[in-house]
Amino acid sequence: MPASQAMNPPATRSWLRPGLCGRPFVYPVCTLALLVLNWVMGKDLPWDALHYHLYAGFSAVHERLNQDFFAAGPQAYFNPDIYLPFYWLVRAGLPDLAIASLLCAYQSSVLWLTYELALQVRPSGTDNPAIWVAPLAALLALLNPVLLQETGSSFADLNTTPIVLLGWVFLVKSFREAGWSRSAVAGILLGAACAFKLTNLSFVFAAIGPWLLLARSRANGPKLLALPLGLICGFVLVGGPWAWRLWQEFGNPLFPLFNSWFRSPDFTTEPLRHFRFIPDSLLDALVRPFAIAKPAAMIHVESIAPDLRYAVLVVLGLLFLAIHGLGRTKRWGTLADGSTRPPGIETGALALGLLLAWVFWLVSSANGRYFLPMSSVAAVLIAVLLEVLLGARRKLLTYATGLIVLLQLAGVGLGAELRANPVDWGTGWIDLSGARRLTGETNLYLTVGVQSNSFLAPFLTADSGMMNISGGYALGPEAPGGSKALALIARNWPRVRVVVEDEQAGRNPNETLARLVDGPLERFSLRADPRDCEVVAIPNTGFHLRLSEPVPGAHDATRYTSYLLNCGVQKIAAESDESRARHADIDLVFDRIEDACPKLFAPRRLVTEHAGSHWQRFYVNTDLKMWINQGLVAFFEPTRGDDPIYLGSEADWLRGPLRVDCGRKDGHYFARILPTASSP
């Protein structure tokens, strides 16, 4: 048999022709497929876009650090540059389908780069991989429910994924090509991605694996130096300007993150760490690849997003290790021409990088949105391992591949929630035609609620400002950030109004003010003026609301209208001595419970909020809300809808600290009061 023929038997017998696997065919098909899916799935207006994505892009080109304060909660100070394209497209007034399609076209490069990465990972001893491996990897990357959820949206997770993957393409290239330039480019790209969104630090950490493999040879010395230098340069070039502005304003270049190190007076110095998806135990961590395959919510993202690929990769990886360990690699990997195709060092680099990224991701967040780049790497490794293990058994390879694709497709098509907030395609992204007073007057707008509605900021007058006083981070005069909040109110007085979103706003404004607004404003000796209120209806934006009942015969979009209440603000007398004493008692109870159970109630010592008949604190690390109402203390987790757990009475805690057994099991928090030594 001629040598040239011996090199290509898998390709000639593949059911795919070479012409259907080349870039001129694969790239357009990937982009077209994602565009069609985006159109079919419909417009998505996720909570995050309304909360801070649009505001972030706006703040990137307009100086807001002196004009706003926590306008979008803590997220207002994340690096805004990655959201600039989304902001420009919205402000250009393009139709919403055009905006989503342009974003989607860029996001389809994730599939291109998955394809390219698979082309770089060739079995050792060959000049080309099997021609079906790269298209299969791109297909498996496409069938990622989290990727589909973010398609056509403004999420930075997906919009930074092409940067990360391109960095990994260059990193893998550096194994086979001389010179240090590819390692440097890889470092610059990964550093830039991390600067755009700090959760990409997982993939920087993962690069340690390939970097150590490069260290096996002294000849790779320049490459070893180029990668970390590139990382530093990329991070500084992209993140440096914004970090410098934060340093000047707050004394923390990563504000509000890592404030336990920098200790800015404008934010809590308690450690921040979001535990929503982090495994409870080592066993939970070990079975997480299989748990993700279940069609259930709150496993790796908030919605239902079953993904079989990680379980498949674990099974294939263990099978390969078992066969390799038993010395049966030749038997399983022998092709018809008598040659073997063991995975090359590039495959090992990818596998080691994925493993390191997985471990770092599990202990830092375990949020599936933050793992999108490595989910494409997982797709590549699945395709390569299938070829390595079953390359000599083409029928078995075909059946196994088809089964994996069909099961993944079934899980995504039948079980996944592919839109966080599906709304109808319209004429524009945001319709504020009914908010002429809100957008026409110059005021400081105090917003109330975890949903800050900072998407309004780009549409307000140039001299207007926004400050979220109660939401993701509650502000108070005596709390961190309080002096800056008071100064901003004083500078804008009397041009100060309050804005709140509520389903009752259009029907009972007074009830909305009493329930949601009066408590937060009282902290600043203010009160909403019910005689100076307007209701603003914004169609096609209702996320957690979907409030109003559909009018018979009306368009379905009426169900997705959100309602804002825009009211004037008046000054009131400062808190009385009696009220201060009551407030001090409530704070003492909350403080003692936090000290008794720091695993659950963190960060500690945040602002206590008075909401109607009860007092409450919100703990961002664990998503828990604790309150005191009618003399009883309780907490619950709104994101999972668990029942309230009671922790005794306010009077018991005022008498002294109690012992509490608390923790987390199977994704749910628990706590119970333990008997004291004097108890029977």
pLDDT category, 221, cuts 50, 70, 90? confident
Residue at 597 is within a domain: yes
Residue at 98 is within a domain: no
**Do 442 and 380 lie in a common domain?**
no
Checking if the pLDDT of 655 tops 50, the result is yes
Angle subtended by helix axes 133-142 and 394-410, to nearest 10: 10
Place of tokens 């800015």: 264
Predicted local distance difference test score (pLDDT) of residue 330: 47
**Do 215 and 288 lie in a common domain?**
yes
Final residue in a domain of this structure, among 577, 600, 632: 577
Mean pLDDT lowest for which of 259-263, 373-377, 534-538?
Answer: 534-538
**Do 524 and 632 lie in a common domain?**
no
pLDDT in tens, 383-426: 999 988 887 788 999 999 999 999 999 999 998 999 988 888 88
Handedness of CA 216, 217, 223, 229 (dihedral sign): positive
**Do 209 and 305 lie in a common domain?**
yes
pLDDT in tens, 318-357: 999 888 765 554 444 444 344 444 567 888 889 999 999 9
**Do 130 and 257 lie in a common domain?**
yes
Q: Which two tokens stand for residue 77?
A: 């100070």
Average pLDDT over residues 243-250: 97
CA distances from 559 to 140, 383, 548, 551, 555 (A): 36, 44, 5, 9, 9
Checking if the pLDDT of 15 tops 50, the result is no
Residues with Cβ within 8 Å of 628's Cβ and at least 6 positions away in sequence, in order, are 586, 589, 590, 614, 615, 616, 650
Residue at 422 is within a domain: no
pLDDT category, 130, cuts 50, 70, 90? low
**Do 487 and 614 lie in a common domain?**
no
**Do 322 and 234 lie in a common domain?**
yes
Average pLDDT over residues 225-233: 94
How many distinct structural domains can be found in the chain? 3
Mean pLDDT lowest for which of 160-169, 370-379, 431-440, 627-636?
Answer: 431-440
**Do 366 and 504 lie in a common domain?**
no
Quick one: which of 193, 230, 239 has its CA closest to 211?
A: 230
What does the alpha-carbon distance between residue 320 and residue 351 come to, in Å, rounded to a whole number? Answer: 12
Residue at 679 is within a domain: no
Final residue in a domain of this structure, among 577, 611, 632: 577
H or E element: which one contains 422?
Answer: strand 422-423
Predicted local distance difference test score (pLDDT) of residue 334: 42
Residue at 155 is within a domain: yes
Residue at 175 is within a domain: yes
What does the alpha-carbon distance between residue 604 and residue 637 come to, in Å, rounded to a whole number? Answer: 17
Parallel, antiparallel or unpaired: strands 444-448 and 43-44? unpaired
Residue at 25 is within a domain: yes
Checking if the pLDDT of 166 tops 90, the result is yes
What does the alpha-carbon distance between residue 404 and residue 418 come to, in Å, rounded to a whole number? Answer: 20
Q: Are 228 and 235 contacting, i.e. CB atoms less than 8 angstroms apart?
A: no
**Do 155 and 28 lie in a common domain?**
yes
**Do 644 and 536 lie in a common domain?**
no
DSSP letter string, 383-417:
HHHHHHHHTT-HHHHHHHHHHHHHHHHHIIIII--
Residue 617 pairs with which residues in a beta bridge?
A: 626
Percent of the chain, pLDDT > 70? 89
Q: Which two tokens stand for residue 486?
A: 């008071």
**Do 205 and 338 lie in a common domain?**
yes
Residue 627 pairs with which residues in a beta bridge?
A: 616, 634
Predicted local distance difference test score (pLDDT) of residue 123: 55
Residue at 153 is within a domain: yes
Final residue in a domain of this structure, among 361, 381, 415: 415
DSSP letter string, 148-193:
HHHTTS--HHHHHHHHHHHHHHHHHHTTTS-SSHHHHHHHHHHHHH
The parent domain of residue 592 ranges over: 587-673
**Do 597 and 659 lie in a common domain?**
yes
Predicted local distance difference test score (pLDDT) of residue 517: 93
